[in-house]
Amino acid sequence: MFGLGIPELVVIFVIALIVFGPKKLPDLGKALGRGLAEFKRATQDVKESIESEVRSAERSIDMEKIRQDVEGTEKENTEQAEKKEADGHGNA
């Protein structure tokens, strides 16, 4: 995680035990656990929000491509119809 091994964690635990005492240490552990759980939940919410925005942006890009394709097809059809009409009038 942070490059901490068992020896480092034991040293941290002993220092915390000396500083805070055996009665206060369980309360500190609970508070730390709750804080970490809340942080994890908040980061998960941010991650989900970002992923949702990315999916929304991808959908809008796809819709824009579809709209451009439809407009291009309509333009081609109009040009072909005008060409046929011009050819038809030229032959008559």
How far is Cα 82 from Cα 76, in angstroms, rounded to an integer? 10
Per the CB < 8 A criterion, the answer to whether 20 and 28 are in contact is yes
Burial of 16 (0-12, 13-18, 19+ CB in 10 A): middle
- What's the pLDDT tens digit per position in 41-60? 999 999 999 999 999 888 88
Residue 5's SS3 state is coil
With a threshold of 0.85, does the pTM exceed it? no
Please tell me which residue, 38 or 32, carries the higher pLDDT value: 38
CA 66 to CA 62: how far, in whole Å? Answer: 6
Residue type, 22: P
